[in-house]
Chains A and B, each alone.
Chain A
């Protein structure tokens, strides 16, 4: 779609990251000033950043000949993109005005880390999924579920913040702008269900591929994704049985998401033991 444009995808990614950063700064300014939180401002900036990030992913996808999920840099960008997409669905539906600020701040942080670590964007063999539609679906679903789980972690952080304010009798500033603890808890439980379903579906598609090609899937990657998937299933089960609720539920979802993020690096390393120097530059494989 944008193949004729003379653009560097890293430059476009950086533009999107800058815009996310600006949206986060605007949101922070809205929280800190005594006047009411601005209804407009953060949303349009996140929307523009999201569109630019979509363009960047499209540019990278065109070059690699598939969904750009081949290295941690691309995965980070895809997670930030998924979280922003989810924000447009969850934010207005649940009237979570501060979610825009949190999403923008997370996307900016993720984008900045990815930009500051050039080693993450190592070359890999393009068309790596070998034209396997199920694996493409597995990867896309897995990363989309990470977006859902990222929003879940943000909602959980908002819950903990609001609960801290209520318990410590704080009521000014950010506490006055956050949604109610009950609303945040309800949204968190719905996001957990959605995220776990998406992640489980991704794992099922991945498992089907693994059954047919056991030698092509590293055991370490399988174990890590299995642990993360099992973790979310366990939290969901405990939540449905009302054994893990409110604060402990929030902590569990945040910790699990950190684990999920941390697992990305070893998963990528397992897939590319020789990276970054082992594979030909992806720019040479249009």
Chain B
């Protein structure tokens, strides 16, 4: 790490890359406590600008320093606010300066530094962090420009590379597959069997993509009722399941039943009333709820947990392949910003 130059931009923080979970827990700052930290940083005479980014995977302070005393001041404020020892902070915190700090912010906004590569949630969190810092008047020309350019670069990277292509969550993969089978999902009739968490998330992902007609069925009536309320869905008595199959297009099964709850014959009967309409069957249960022989049925598309996980892994591998082109693009953008800031005499020429 290089020494902080007078009037330099730097980022001090810790993330899931280097810091174990039990340490990160100690650096956690609830949203209510961020304003107090921002105010403390604002009162520091050695800092001209500051911003706090606190997510579940990272805690970072972006700052523009007036002189070399800024860094010890920030460490002291941070240790007081988080109630942690200076030694712990020094052991786990990283510090990046000037061009490296810009490259880090750009990578972060593009999702390259995220636990789930290419995810877009971090962009929203960065925008929120900027908005809060601006509200407290902690930011100025350097940090405002840094973050705005980060957002623009993230957009460029997402457009020009495949860094965010291909879903990697089970729910979104299932929703993508449903679109490949049915096209628009607003008329899709979805049945959720059981109350497994992954099943609920998959149903929610389908609702987010336009599904209006959701029905839940559970062996325990109370669970079905609670689930129906949570997902704003209709209820179907479990004993009527087999004879009602023809009413649904997508069936998500996520029960704790020891064996198959629906057989090939059940669907063959259901298909007779709707031979041209496909069935999309998502088996998220372990052991499996749906007879694997269903896959051989014409117009029946069966996906189990392994199938969905294989797609997620493949998409993740493709995203990793896009990492290097994305970094090259971001480094060029970061270099342009660095030159701009230097031209405006806001940054040191070291």
CB within 8 Å of B: which residues of A?
Answer: 34-35, 162, 165-167, 169, 171-172, 175-176, 178-183, 185, 242, 245-248
Whether B275 and A182, one on each chain, are in contact in the complex, defined by CB atoms closer than 8 angstroms, is no
Whether B301 and A162, one on each chain, are in contact in the complex, defined by CB atoms closer than 8 angstroms, is no
Taken residue by residue from 301 to 312, chain B's Cβ proximity to chain A (1 for < 8 Å, 0 otherwise) reads as 101000100110
CA distance A35 to B161 in the complex (A): 7
CA distance A120 to B311 in the complex (A): 49
The smallest beta-carbon distance between B325 and chain A, in angstroms, is 10
Q: Assess A34 versus B177: contact at CB under 8 Å? Given A169-B310, A180-B182.
A: no
Chain B residues within an 8 Å CB radius of A162: 180
Nearest first, the 4 A-B pairs at minimum CB distance are: A180-B183, A183-B183, A245-B276, A34-B162
Q: Can you add 9 more A-B contacts, CB < 8 Å, to A176-B180, A180-B180? A: A34-B322, A35-B160, A166-B181, A169-B307, A180-B182, A182-B277, A242-B276, A246-B276, A246-B299
The verdict on B278 contacting chain A, using a C-beta distance below 8 Å, is yes
Whether A180 and B181, one on each chain, are in contact in the complex, defined by CB atoms closer than 8 angstroms, is yes
Provide a sorted-by-A list of 29 A–B residue pairs whose CB atoms are within 8 angstroms. A34-B165, A34-B318, A34-B321, A35-B160, A35-B162, A165-B180, A166-B180, A169-B303, A169-B310, A171-B176, A171-B177, A171-B314, A172-B166, A172-B314, A176-B180, A178-B180, A179-B183, A181-B180, A181-B278, A182-B182, A182-B183, A182-B277, A185-B276, A246-B275, A246-B276, A246-B278, A246-B299, A247-B298, A247-B299
The verdict on B342 contacting chain A, using a C-beta distance below 8 Å, is no
Chain A residues within an 8 Å CB radius of B177: 166, 171
The number of inter-chain residue pairs (CB within 8 angstroms) is 60
CA distance A166 to B310 in the complex (A): 14
Chain A residues within an 8 Å CB radius of B314: 171-172
Chain B: CB-nearest residue to A243: B275
The verdict on B219 contacting chain A, using a C-beta distance below 8 Å, is no
Q: Which of B180, B295, B301, B322 contacts A175 (CB 8 A)?
A: B180
CA distance A242 to B274 in the complex (A): 9
Chain B residues within an 8 Å CB radius of A242: 275-276
The verdict on B343 contacting chain A, using a C-beta distance below 8 Å, is no
